[in-house]
């Protein structure tokens, strides 16, 4: 995959959206309670899905840096539920996701950057953003364009 295409897609997903709303719009305007809501026992919340996406972004960056997480850490942190449902904790989750967007962009634009793992982040995150949009709809929230 050409780096320029990956960079364009990465930026477009964040700023304009790729056939759907831009990623930040899907998580903006939600209360902590809406983000932590689950449709049924054993199902994931928007917050857990966002944590999962952030975790895999961090994991990919760590693998590129030669410091992959252990299987135990992966099991513990994947789809991690919030420890507290507060505005500050929800803001921190969104800030983490936004910061990782920037960190991955740095690797993509670096001519020596290893983008082989990162090219899969766009379909991965797009899939999960679709889940987030569906969870918003299940809560009766208006669609995001």
Within a domain: residue 133?
yes
Domains in the chain, number: 1
Within a domain: residue 130?
yes
Within a domain: residue 144?
no
Q: Which residues of the chain have pLDDT under 50?
A: 1
Query: pLDDT tens-digit profile of 91-108?
Result: 999 999 999 999 999 999
Q: What is the pTM of this model?
A: 0.92
> What CATH number corresponds to the domain at position 134?
1.20.120
How far apart CA 24 and CA 27 sit, in angstroms, is: 6
What domain range includes position 104? 3-138
Give the pLDDT confidence score for residue 61 in this predicted structure: 94
Within a domain: residue 145?
no
Give the pLDDT confidence score for residue 2 in this predicted structure: 55
Q: Which residue matches tokens 């897609």?
A: 9
Give the pLDDT confidence score for residue 112 in this predicted structure: 84
């Amino acid at each position: 995959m050409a780096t320029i295409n990956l960079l364009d897609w990465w930026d477009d997903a964040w700023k304009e959206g790729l056939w759907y709303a831009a990623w930040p719009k899907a998580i903006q305007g939600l209360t902590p309670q809406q983000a932590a809501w689950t449709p049924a026992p054993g199902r994931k919340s928007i917050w857990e899905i966002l944590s999962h996406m952030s975790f895999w972004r961090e994991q990919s960056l760590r693998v590129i840096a030669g410091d992959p997480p252990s299987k135990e850490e992966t099991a513990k942190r994947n789809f991690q539920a919030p420890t507290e449902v507060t505005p500050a904790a929800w803001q921190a989750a969104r800030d983490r996701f936004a910061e990782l967007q920037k960190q991955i962009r740095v690797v993509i634009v670096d001519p020596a950057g290893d983008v082989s793992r990162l090219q899969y982040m766009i379909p991965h995150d797009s899939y999960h953003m679709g889940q987030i949009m569906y969870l918003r709809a299940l809560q009766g929230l208006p669609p995001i364009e």
